[in-house]
Every structure is written in structure tokens, then in C-alpha cells.
Structure 1
């Protein structure tokens, strides 16, 4: 299969990153041929594994595929942190050297040249500092990924919301990515924390899994313990499509969690209602030749005078949805970048990358997600559990 632009970016980063690690941690620190050859073979092998990881996961049986995912993504995170640590040290040294060059020249006795052993010692010291910094980043990022997500509470004003539903709360679970890393213990704790927020409704906005129902169904079954007055609802994400969307929709149905696949339902009681609208993933269906996002179908038959809340995995098409009468769109997908430097670059890809935005009287909230994808780390974008409180 042809590589996507994102896969090509990862492949380029893997090649350049490993070349940088080899130069800084091997070539500059030892002149011995044996260690250099061994290091080159190991780093070259890991480069190939990172580039071919998706192909290997598709073609290998599930158990070996899980091993490839665990090893490749764990090393990807560690290697990234090592590169960041080394780059930080090198940048600091460059700034110091530049400062020395810019200082006024002072007549002084010429200093003796630095001997080879001293240079090697300095290289080893800076490499050791970079390794410590990179290791610290990796440890913190891993801890942050697996600890409880932050609770973000946002009040959203919807003028068309009936007064009887003022204060209606929606807890959003998104981008769980249940798989080799995230399993039942993580899910049980997440469900416990979601229930503690006492939601009126739970919205599960896609990328729930990275794997099949037979393999992960027992972990996802924890979602059956969610408690909300008006229930829990699911919409598909791109990873759910590649994991077998139809099977997962059926599995969630067996847990009492209906899926909104380009349709809407009415939420409320005799005192007042609003429409909860759900759409399939923006890209997932098209990539696999299946039906996907269809806002027109989802809105068919609804009264535009009623308030509408849209569940959509990706923060795409928001302005169109707003102009079609959607008062609030709840999305995820971006992870807020998840790892530096993507946290600083994600805004180049998405106009609404993380947080609360408005277009006219309509709102969108884009969650950073509860779990993670790829490297089991979060740096600069902590996971979050979102509680949206609707008010008229």
C-alpha cells in the first residue's frame, strides 16, 4: 500500500533521527570499529521496524503484531526524547559559542589547544547530560500518559436550549485507543472518574480501539458500567473503521451503548428536548471504500428550532455544521498534538486543534483525548476528561 503523507513524515523522521543519534551517541564518543558497527546495525534495524510497522501489524498474526506495536512505539517515544535532549544540549552549546564570538575581543595570552582526551571527556559529559534529559522526558511522558486525565469543565451557552435542561452535562470520552498499551485497568479507572462527574449524558467520540472485538472486547466492556441519566452514545473514528466498525457498533450495542451513524435522536423529557446528532468519521469510510460522514443524512427530519449537539470524531466541517443549525460540536482526533514538537505544529493542520472555539453563535470543543496513540507518552498535551455544561 502507498504511504500516506503522515507515514512518509514518520519515515523521514525515523531516518534523520537515528542518523543524529548515531552521530552524537556513537561516532562522537568512540573510535572503535566494533561498537560503531553494532550500533549502526541496531539503529538501522529499528529504523526499518518503525517504517514498516503498519505493514507488519497488518500481515503478522495478532500476538506478534502486538509485540511489534509495543516495541516500535515504545522505542519511537524513547528515541524522540533522546533526540530532544541532545538537540537541547546542542542548542545550548551553540548559544554559548555564539555569545563568546559576539563578545568584544580582549587581548590575552593565547590558550593552549584543547587535547583530544579533554574533547572526548567533554563530548561524553554533554552526551550523558543529554541522555539524562531525554530519559527524564521519556519517564515523565510515560507517567503522564498512563495517569488519570485532567478534568476540564466548560460552560456552553445555547440560547435554544429549553430552560428545563439548563445545566445539562455531557461528559466526553474520546481517543481511548484501547489496545496493547491501554487495557481493562485503565478503562475501569476512566469509567470510575467519568461516573464521579455525574453526567446527564456520555459522548464517546471515536478512536475507541486499535484492534478487533475478539481481542479487545473484554477491555471495552468496562464502558458498560458508565452511568448517565440519558445514557451513553458512540460515534466512529478513523481507527474504529480500520478495527472493524460494524463489529464494534454491534459490541457496544450489546453493552447498551447505541451508535449514532449519520442520524439523530431526541434527548430530554416532557419539559423540553434537544437533538443529539452523530456522524461517522470524516475520513475513515472513504479510505476503506465504505460509507462515512454524511451530515445531510444526520440532520434529515429534525426541527431547526430545537437545539442541536453534534458528535463528530474529527473537528472537520464545523463551520458548515454551524451554518446548518448545529449549536455545539464535540470532537477529538487531534490529541492536541500529544508530543512536542507536534503540540506546536498541530495548529498548522487543524484550525480547531484543541479547546473551545466559536463560529457565530455556535461552539466546538476539541478534546485532547483520554488515551494516546503511537508512543505511550504525552509531552505538552496532557490527557483530559471533558465535562460540558449546557446553559440557556
Structure 2
């Protein structure tokens, strides 16, 4: 049966795009009083907009191929650049309206001409935004950062004082396109020489075979106390169409085998003991549990056989699990490691400023959080998805050191 398409949102969006394009073009005409500029500028944006709409309409059959990426990425870049330019031009227009009211002009409806300075700033901002996005696509998506945190606990077994854990999340191997760059990330992981390595879900975008070209690289990861992993929402293949449920289940089974080939011990609603000097901590892992992204994981099952007094670390892909169940669970979970958000791969984290559009979906979307004496750490992701780049929110390798108070 053919999928019905609701054209109203597309028409409304197209109308907004036309108005936005008209406003920016007219605002910049003062700098380029030539009809050629207006024609070229409008034609370029129209072409990008049309290719974007066509790509969206063809997603079910066309998939995430080169055409789709070029169309969507070009549109996103220009659209964001236009919005920034439009905001600056709008400030300029408000300024000239205020000047018109304050001035003594006898003619009705008098409005001063646009202030050239605002048009110049808008054009410069337009170009800067485009360059920033290009940098995010070319360099940013593989600009790995190591973020180190030291956490103190009253109940940490003495033998684990100084124990280190390296975490990565959201590999999304189906998006990778540069083995040399990914190898640098793997080398950076090994350079941390952590005791334990954990991966907190989304090894692929949709299909298990996406990881096959990268198995040899991730197999290089080393940790004396083992390498452990869990599944993320994308690993179940929920976001593409399958010929049958059997094919979908086989895909998941193949993905589990690939975890094993890499050397990851996949934790599926279960736990293991990490032992050192006749003392232990609990490492548990649940299947994906996230508000709006499938509530598959069974936390109680994962903790079956553990004691309330045990020091516990939990791997759970989606951080919404922490607020919904983990922080109020009767058996204290000392540290939860998550991912999922990617920091939306776009935002600002400088000079104490921390902002990303993803904050409107997740109140806490990256880094460390503590509630009721329980910690949550959200990794910003090792890979990328959808937008093939990162701007301001860089791919992350987390190193956590456990210390006794």
C-alpha cells in the first residue's frame, strides 16, 4: 500500500522558506544592487529546497544515499545561515523603524533606508555560518576529545580506589567514511590505558553489516578487566522497513555476533562481577530503555542476585531511564553510564556556556549529573548520525576514575 503524504506541512514550510529567502535577499541587495545577484541567490536556494523536498518524499525507497545527504546537508547549511542573517537584518529594520518614530518627518509613512552596517554584518554572518558548517563536516565529526572525571564514593571497595573506566557511546558505524580518522579515535582510547572499557549502545544506524568494515579497528581496543557493551535504540533496526520480522530478528542476532567478534561482552539485562584483590563491584547492563524510544530493558532482571550494599555501575543507553527508574530504584546504583543524545552534534560549550537544541528534549543531555547520591554520566557520542558533522559538540572518549572518599 502506498504511503499517504500530508502536503500541508510541506506547503507551509515552503511558504516560510520563500518569505525568509525574499527577506534576506532584499536585505543584502543594498550591498549587491545587481539583479544577477538576486537571481543567482534565489535560484540556488530554490534548487536546494526542491532537492530537499524530493529527498524527503523519496526516503522510503531511496534511502540515506549520496543524493539525500547532499540535498539535506546543503539545505540545512543555507537555511541556518539565512536564519542568522535574517535575525541581524530584523534588528536593523527595528532600529530604522525606531529612528523614524523619533525623527521629525512631515511625510506620512516615512521610513529611513536600510542601515548598510546591518546588511554588511548579516552577509558576513551568512558566510561565517556556512564556513562553520563546512568545518564541522570536514573536521569536526572526527575531532575526538578525551574528557576525564574523578568521582568520589563512600562505599567504593578499597581495592577499586583509582580504578579507571573508558566509555564511548553511539558509534553509528554506518555513518563512518574515513578509516584513518576512526583509527585515531581507537588509538586515543587505548592511550588512556584504563582498567575497564564500556560501550553504551548504537553500534550501527540500522543494519548489522554496517559494522563489518570496522570490526578490525574496534577489535584493537584493550582493557585488563574486559570490554563490555549494551544495545541502543538504533541497534534493533526499528527505523527501516524489513521484508519480514524474521529478517529483522536475524539482523539483531548478527549484530550480537559482531559484538562478540569485536571482543565486547554484551550485557542484556544482566550483570557480572568485576573482581580485584578479593573484592568486587557490579557491572550491569540493560537493553535499551528510553522514553519514546522503546522500553525494552528490565532493570530488576539485570540486578537479580545483587545485594543493596554492592557497589553498582549500570550501562543504560538512554539517559531518560535514570530519571524514570534508576535514581529511585530501591537498590542503589552508584553510577550510570549513558549516551544517546549526541549533544545533537550541535551547540556551544565554551567559557561556562553549555547549550544545545537537544536541551529542549533532555534537561540533562551531556556530562555529569548527581541526584540522591547517584551519578549519571552522558557521553556525547563517538560517531555521528543524520548530519555528517559536529559543530561545538565534539565526539567524546570519557575516562572516569573511581576514588574512595
| 1:265 matches 2:290 | no
**TM-score under structure 2 normalisation?**
0.78
Aligned partners of 1:355 and 1:367 also within 8 Å: yes
Question: Partner of 1:146: helix, strand, or coil?
Answer: helix
Give the drift of 1:349. 1.6
Residue 220 of structure 1: aligned partner: 215
Would you say the 8 A contact 2:290–2:321 is kept in 1? Answer: no
Q: Which residue of 1 aligns with 2:248?
A: none
Compute the displacement of 1:45 (Å).
Answer: 3.2
- In structure 1, the gaps of 5 or more residues are none
**1:105 corresponding residue in structure 2:** 102
The residue that corresponds to 1:44 in the other structure is: 50
Q: Is the 8 A contact 1:20 1:83 kept in 2?
A: no
Contact 1:74 1:375 in 2 (8 A): no
Tell me the secondary structure at the aligned position of residue 155 of structure 1. Answer: strand
Superposed CA deviations along residues 195-248 of structure 1, whole A, max 9, x for unmatched, are 001111111111121243444312133111101111111100011111833211
CA contact (8 A) 1:17 1:83 kept: no
Question: 2:2 & 2:380 partners in 1: Cα distance?
Answer: 29
Higher alpha-carbon deviation: 298-307 or 12-21: 12-21
After superposition, the Cα gap between the structure-2 partners of 1:270 and 1:124, relative to the gap in structure 1 and judged at 3 Å, is: closer
Pairs within 5 Å for 1:9-20: 15=14, 18-19=17-18
Aligned to 1:310: 314
Classify 1:284/1:207 alpha carbon distance in 2 versus 1 (closer, same or farther; 3 Å).
farther
Aligned residue for 2:128? 133
Preserved contact between residue 236 and residue 252 of structure 2 (Cα < 8 Å): yes
Q: 1:360 aligns with which of 372, 383, 386?
A: 372
Question: Which of 241, 257, 265 lines up with 1:250 in the alignment?
Answer: 257
Q: Which residue of 2 aligns with 1:321?
A: 326
Deviations 1:105-159 (A, max 9, x none): 345899xx99xxx99x999978854552332121222244333311110111232
Within 2, Cα distance between the matches of 1:78 and 1:355?
31
RMSD across aligned positions (CA): 3.9
Quote the offset at 1:36 in angstroms: 6.8
Report the equivalent of 2:182: 187
| Cα 1:84–1:201 shift into 2, 3 Å | same
Q: Which residue of 2 aligns with 1:196?
A: 191
Provide the aligned length of Structure 1 versus Structure 2.
Answer: 369
Give the whole-Å Cα distance in 2 for the aligned partners of 1:327 and 1:105: 62
Q: In structure 2, what is the equivalent of residue 390 of structure 1?
A: 402
SS in structure 1 at match of 2:309: coil
Q: How many Å apart are 1:170 and its aligned residue?
A: 0.8
On the 8 A contact 2:205/2:234 being kept in 1, the answer is yes
Alpha-carbon separation, structure 2, partners of 1:360 and 1:13: 46
- Render the CA deviation track for 1:78-107: whole Å, top value 9, x for unaligned: 322322222222222221232233347345
* 8 Å contact kept, 1:86–1:130: no
Structure 1 contact 183–219 (Cα < 8 Å) conserved: no
Separation in 2 of the partners of 1:228 and 1:13? 53
Answer yes or no: is the 8 Å Cα contact 1:169–1:387 preserved in 2. yes
Change (3 A) 1:310 1:35: closer
User: Which region of structure 1 is more displaced relative to structure 2, 138-147 or 312-321?
Assistant: 138-147
Distance 1:371 1:14 in 2: 30
**Residue 321 of structure 1, CA deviation:** 1.6
Q: Does 1:171 align with 2:166?
A: yes
The yes-or-no answer on 1:235 pairing with 2:240 is: no
Partner of 1:158: 153
Normalised by the size of structure 1, how large is the TM-score?
A: 0.80
1:235–1:260 contact (8 Å) kept in structure 2? yes
CA contact (8 A) 2:341 2:366 kept: yes
Give me the whole-angstrom Cα distance separating, in 1, the residues matched to 2:10 and 2:162. 47
